[in-house]
């Protein structure tokens, strides 16, 4: 077994220490060299000095690290930076225009859609992505499609209300479903 591993190691192509990539982050082009195993989350937080995106679990299970890549929401902790070479990345820091908050950010303030705020950047990015995906129309659909973003403080009613508010109008009361 060890020998087989050693053989594999010998024949595997050498991975360069640093790989050059370019990303457009919050509208600004960034060129840099990154280690192949650097996650997009660590790149944003540690290299690009954008700590707004949070690390909750580092496993793709809490949603705190959600950012938008080419307009779609992803867990940046599960994404290697090199995989997104050439993409456009929007983080929580890139949503506002000057001092004017993005409508989703404003809705979160208006609805008190946070307590400790640690999940909030991920929730907001996820909500912005959700709306641009165009799938959510009802409260039930929002609940479903936001279920990848944990809020341990349990601000869900207000988070969902904020998203509903941005979607426009109040969602129709949904039918109660059988869990069966």
Maximum distance among all Cα pairs of the chain, rounded to whole angstroms: 65
Cα–Cα separations (whole angstroms), residue 163 to 26, 39, 41: 22, 28, 24
Interface with another protein (CB under 8 A), residue from 120, 130, 166, 167: 120
Query: Considering the complex, what minimum distance in angstroms separates the CB of residue 37 from another protein?
Result: 9
Q: Determine the interface stretch with ligand FES among 50-58, 100-108, 160-168, 171-179 (rule: CB under 6 A).
A: 50-58
- In the DSSP assignment, the letter for residue 154 is -
Residue 65 touches which of another protein, ligand FES, none (Cβ within 5-8 Å per kind): ligand FES
Q: Which class for 15: exposed (0-12), middle (13-18), buried (19 or more C-beta within 10 A)?
A: exposed
158 binds, among ligand FES, another protein, none (CB under 5 to 8 A by kind): another protein
Beta strands in the chain (DSSP E): 19-25, 28-34, 66-69, 72-75, 88-90
In 3D, which of 88, 82, 68 has the Cα closest to residue 17? 82
Q: How far is the CB of 55 from ligand FES (least distance, A)?
A: 5
CB 76 within 8 A of CB 41: yes
Structure tokens of 101? Answer: 């908050």
Two tokens at 83?
């995989």
From candidates 43, 128, 136, 159, binder to another protein by CB under 8 A: 159
157 binds ligand FES (CB under 6 A): no
109 binds, among ligand FES, another protein, none (CB under 5 to 8 A by kind): another protein
Residues 6+ apart with CB under 8 A from 175: none
x/- contact string, 117-156, with ligand FES (CB under 6 A)?
xxxx------------------------------xxx-x-
Site residues (vs another protein, CB under 8 A): 45, 49-59, 61-62, 64, 91-93, 95-96, 99, 101, 105-112, 114-121, 124, 139-140, 142-144, 146-161, 165, 174, 176-180
């Amino acid at each position: 077994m060890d020998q087989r591993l050693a053989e594999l190691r010998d024949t595997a192509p050498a991975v360069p220490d640093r790989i050059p990539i370019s990303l457009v982050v919050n509208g600004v082009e960034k060129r840099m060299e990154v280690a192949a195993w650097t996650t997009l989350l660590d790149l944003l937080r540690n290299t690009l000095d954008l700590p707004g995106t949070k690390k909750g679990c580092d496993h793709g299970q809490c949603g705190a690290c959600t950012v938008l890549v080419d307009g779609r929401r992803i867990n940046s902790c599960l994404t290697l930076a090199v995989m997104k070479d050439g993409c456009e990345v929007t983080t929580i820091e890139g949503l506002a225009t000057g001092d004017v908050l993005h409508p989703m950010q404003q809705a979160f303030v208006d609805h008190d859609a946070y307590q400790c705020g640690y999940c909030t950047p991920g929730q907001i990015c996820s909500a912005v992505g959700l709306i641009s995906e165009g799938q959510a129309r009802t409260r039930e659909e929002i609940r479903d499609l936001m279920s990848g973003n944990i809020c341990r403080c349990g601000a869900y009613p207000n988070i969902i209300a904020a998203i509903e508010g941005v979607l426009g109008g109040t969602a129709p009361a949904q039918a109660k479903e059988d869990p069966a």
